[in-house]
Amino acid sequence: MPLIETLRTAFGATAANKLRAALTILGILVGVAAVIGMVSVGEGASASIASTLQGLGTNLVLVSPGGQTTGLVRGAGGGATTLTLDDVAALRAAGAVPDAAAIEPELSGRAQVIVGGSNTNTSVTGTTPAYQTVRNWTVADGAFFTDADVSSNASVAVIGATTATTLFSGGEPVGQYINLNFSSGGRNSPVRTVRLQVVGVFASKGTAAGFFNQDDQVVVPVTTAAQRIFGRSNVSTIAISATSQSTMSNVQLEVTQVLLGTHHVSDPTQADFTVQTQQDLLSAATSATSTFTILLAAIGSISLLVGGIGIMNIMLVSVTERTREIGLRKALGARRTDILGQFLVEAVVLTTLGGVAGALVGILVSVAIARLTTVQATVTPASLVLAVGVSAAVGLVFGLYPARRAAGLQPIVALRTE
């Protein structure tokens, strides 16, 4: 039987049982929509993390205290206080890291910031003017503090856009004063209160990865943070901007060699610090989110499996109802392959229609997720093509048994069926 005639027969059988066809299509529709919706969340998470890592800085190399990192999990080796300002000085020494464009320390913690009747608990980072270059920050109002401010432990701060809005309610922050309260966390720990003058406000960067607000921060000179706020000289991170993307691996090697010397470590595997490039972080994050996406797709595929079982049941019912029709067609000369092809095409038509409808619903679900939540959802053309293709494959797989059963009927037996 020509393919056109087979398709005409398949659509005619579908139109003759509209309610049954609609219910069958609904099962595939839900499965495809679930797969597309869940995969879009995984793809969106990957894109969001990649964008966040790219926004952390330019050609970034990060040095963290502690042992080596596997994936995104830091080992227990080393400690949390193994990097100091002396390490930063060693890295900044002439010729120590020739492929570095800028190097800046970061001494981080959290503190309560108070202005009049307004207060907020926010991130506080002690650093140097190189922070702007390494971390890709620009000042929208006022100016960043200077090297002279770092040398003199100046009582100055640059704050994020969200922090400025929270504390000053839309007023002009530059030139105003904030009170920063910090406690080391113990029950009897004294609270340090430092009065700082706001000299600048960062341009807004927005939320990173859907949950971390980059604009909620206070940045102060690293010496002020070490001596007057946190009371410690160890740094949380040393951030380095390589001269180009191609020299990041060189910087990673150069930094490792310098710090192995300053830490008196002969075996690199026993280093009490970790040096990672932006690509290392991106690769680890991509690996994690890819696994997450596959898991979500597998969960959504359960709905497709259920839809496939529904297809098989409906096609078996159809074979039973049309037994006399099958017998008559065979008696008139229809071959086994004609009957097999007819029922397979009917199954594929049903699942493909369900797949196309499911793809449209999946797009709507993804848009709704993106608009109603903070989760980024990204639908790719590849996922749409794959989902529709898989739905057609479901029709072939689950329609094969009913089609073979129909093709195997003997004409005389089929014609005698009531």
Q: What is the pLDDT of residue 194?
A: 92
Between the alpha carbon of residue 123 and those of residues 114, 159, 311, the distances in Å are: 13, 10, 56
Query: What pLDDT is recorded for position 104?
Result: 94
The domain segmentation of the chain, as residue ranges, is 3-51+289-416, 103-235
Q: Which residue has the tokens 């092809």?
A: 341
Continuous H helices in 205-335: 222-224, 248-262, 278-321, 323-331
Out of 127-136, 205-214, 310-319, 384-393, which region has the weakest mean confidence (pLDDT)? 205-214
Give Cβ neighbours of residue 380 (< 8 Å, ≥ 6 apart). 40, 43
**Weakest mean pLDDT among 128-132, 269-273, 389-393:** 389-393
Tokens (6 digits) for 306: 């259920």
Q: What is the pTM of this model?
A: 0.63
- CA nearest to 325, candidates 353, 351, 346: 346
pLDDT band at 213 (very low <50, low <70, confident <90, very high): confident
Which range among 9-18, 53-62, 81-90, 316-325 has the greatest average pLDDT?
81-90
The answer to whether residue 211 scores a pLDDT higher than 60 is no
In the predicted structure, residue 73 carries a pLDDT above the cut 70: no
Helix (H) or strand (E) holding 219: strand 217-221
Q: Does residue 316 surpass a pLDDT of 50? A: yes
Model pLDDT, residue 150:
95
Handedness of CA 324, 325, 330, 333 (dihedral sign): positive
DSSP structural state of residue 97: S
User: Distances in Å between the alpha carbon of 168 and those of 154, 194, 215, 384, 417?
Assistant: 22, 18, 14, 47, 85
Is the predicted pLDDT of residue 72 greater than 50, yes or no? no
Over residues 388-412, mean pLDDT? 81
pLDDT at 262 over 80: yes
Percent of the chain's residues with pLDDT above 70: 84
pLDDT for residue 209 is more than 60: no
pLDDT band at residue 1 using 50, 70 and 90 as cut-offs: low
pLDDT of residue 410: 75
Residue 277 pairs in a beta bridge with: 61
Q: In angstroms, rounded to a whole number, what is the distance separating the alpha carbons of residues 306 and 31?
A: 8
- State pLDDT tens for residues 116-154: 888 999 999 999 999 998 988 999 999 999 999 999 999
- For residue 102, give the nearest of 202, 243, 223 by alpha carbon: 243
Q: How confident is the prediction for the chain on average, in pLDDT?
A: 82
